[in-house]
Amino acid sequence: MKAMLDARGIRSGYSGVTVIKGLDLSVGPEVFAVLGANGAGKSTLLATLARLIPLTAGELWFDGQDISHAPPWVSAARGIGYVPQEKGLFPDLTVLENLYVGAMIGERARDERLAEVVELFPDIGARRHQLAGTLSGGESRMVACARALMQDPRLLLLDEPTAGLSPLYVDNFFDRIRDIHRNQNVSIVLAEQNATKALEVADRVMVLTLGEASEVMDASSVTTEILKEGYQI
């Protein structure tokens, strides 16, 4: 498998606190799930991969290029889309304006991309003129994901896209994740608490425990015992 994203011995964290403690990760054309308990470092890892948190050690390569010290707009322009755990939208812009911000990256006509994301998330179409700050939690998550897709990414980093949302919404969103991967040929790194749902959609899985990673496993081989150990329960 040819890796698209390659992290080698990366360390990162916050002013003096190391959260990610020397982690190796290789992501190819797949859905790669990062599981782990609250505080394990999932969001820190994804923000590091998106280049929002600096590396204090190690290297990060994307598509054969060293992006270890690239700023986030460079990694975005190279094809890394990022949907943070919090809403990640401009609240005072409309849904459509938020989506157009995403389309500032990439070459294709923005209306072509808009048609694709509206097909993926039909609810967005009806709300295109609504201010993003007035959307419900689930609607915000869809628009944030759609905004990242408007960048025509080749790798999408999704940080707990369904946290706190109703079961019907969760099922629908996981189906969309599968569609994005299969139909739009986008690799996905998915940070998740919801191990059951993540294992349904993921090809490979890693469990983070306090910033340290388990072996990478095929999703089909993950057992309850492995999860209990990783989640320290």
Ligand X SMILES: Nc1ncnc2c1ncn2[C@@H]1O[C@H](COP(=O)(O)OP(=O)(O)OP(=O)(O)O)[C@@H](O)[C@H]1O
Binding residues for ligand X, per CB under 6 A?
Answer: 14, 17, 19, 36, 38-44, 85, 193
Q: Is 53 helix (H, G, I), strand (E, B) or coil?
A: coil
Report, in Å, the least distance between residue 138 CB and ligand X: 18
CA distance 35 to 42: 7
What beta strand segments (E) does the chain contain? 5-14, 17-27, 31-35, 57-62, 65-66, 80-83, 155-159, 187-192, 204-209, 212-213, 217-218
Report, in Å, the least distance between residue 194 CB and ligand X: 10
Report, in Å, the least distance between residue 84 CB and ligand X: 10
Select from 33, 63, 57 the least CA-distant residue to 46: 33
CA distance 227 to 233: 8
DSSP 129-164: TSBGGGS-HHHHHHHHHHHHHTT--SEEEEE-TTTT
Q: Is 12 in the site for Mg ion (CB under 5 A)?
A: no
Beta carbons of 30 and 187 less than 8 angstroms apart: yes
Report, in Å, the least distance between residue 202 CB and Mg ion: 17
Report, in Å, the least distance between residue 153 CB and ligand X: 21
Among ligand X, Mg ion, none, what binds residue 162 when CB lies within 5 to 8 Å by partner kind?
none
Among Mg ion, ligand X, none, what binds residue 26 when CB lies within 5 to 8 Å by partner kind?
none
Q: Is 44 in the site for Mg ion (CB under 5 A)?
A: no
Report, in Å, the least distance between residue 220 CB and Mg ion: 25
CA distance 150 to 104: 8
> In this complex, which beta carbon is closest to ligand X, that of residue 148 or of residue 191?
191
Among Mg ion, ligand X, none, what binds residue 38 when CB lies within 5 to 8 Å by partner kind?
ligand X
> In this complex, which beta carbon is closest to Mg ion, that of residue 9 or of residue 39?
39
72 Cβ partners below 8 Å, 6+ apart? 50, 51, 52, 82
> In this complex, which beta carbon is closest to ligand X, that of residue 77 or of residue 163?
163
CA distance 233 to 225: 10
The interface region with Mg ion, picked from 40-48, 117-125, 147-155, 204-212 by CB under 5 A, is 40-48
Out of 26, 68, 85, 172, which residue is the one contacting Mg ion (CB under 5 A)?
85
Which residues contribute to the site for Mg ion (CB under 5 A)?
42-43, 85
